[in-house]
């Protein structure tokens, strides 16, 4: 069964009105003018919705999404920014993160000890991920 279209298939207008509901169980029909409920995610493509579902499932951790989707961190970050734009927001521009000498040392120690991999270490050092000193 098809879902309600998001836009008019003829003119791509967004002001669709549903005129009739039908229940196949009891053969009842309800006629009138019903405006479909709008939500922030309605304008997302199917690919963007699948991305968001994976994002939520991974608790917003792009490094976990890398493993699941087999995509690089920059690709995932770009896709997240595309979703943010599609929702009508502007992605925040992150400025360079200034790490202290002790934070840089901790990152290198974590890398050497195997607690993080080289990709994660680079993201910390380049300021793509926030590093919190334990």
Domain ranges for the chain: 46-86, 95-134
The predicted pLDDT at position 93 comes to 67
Tokens at residue 97, please? 């993160």
Tokens at residue 38, please? 């709008």
Query: For residue 116, with 0-12 CB atoms within 10 Å meaning exposed, 13-18 middle and 19 or more buried, which class applies?
Result: buried
The predicted pLDDT at position 96 comes to 55
Phi then psi for residue 14, to 5 deg, are -100, 0
Which value, in Å, is the radius of gyration of the alpha carbons in the chain?
23
The predicted pLDDT at position 95 comes to 56
Residue with tokens 């169980």: 25
Q: What is the pTM of this model?
A: 0.51
The predicted pLDDT at position 56 comes to 95
Q: Alpha helices, DSSP H only, in the chain? A: 46-57, 62-69, 73-86, 101-113, 118-126
The predicted pLDDT at position 1 comes to 67
Q: Which residues in the chain land under pLDDT 70?
A: 1, 93-97, 133-134
């Amino acid at each position: 069964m098809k879902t309600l279209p998001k836009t008019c298939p003829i003119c791509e207008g967004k002001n669709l009105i549903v005129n009739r509901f039908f229940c196949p169980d009891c053969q009842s029909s309800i006629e009138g003018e019903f405006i479909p409920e709008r939500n922030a995610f309605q304008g997302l493509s199917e690919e963007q919705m699948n991305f968001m579902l994976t994002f939520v499932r991974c608790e917003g951790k792009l490094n976990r999404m890398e493993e699941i989707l087999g995509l690089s961190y920059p690709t995932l970050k770009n896709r997240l920014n595309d979703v943010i734009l599609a929702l009508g927001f502007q992605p925040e521009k992150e400025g360079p993160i200034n790490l202290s000498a002790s934070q840089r040392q901790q990152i290198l120690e974590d890398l050497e000890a195997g607690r993080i991999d080289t990709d994660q270490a680079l993201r910390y050092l380049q300021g793509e991920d926030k590093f919190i000193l334990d």
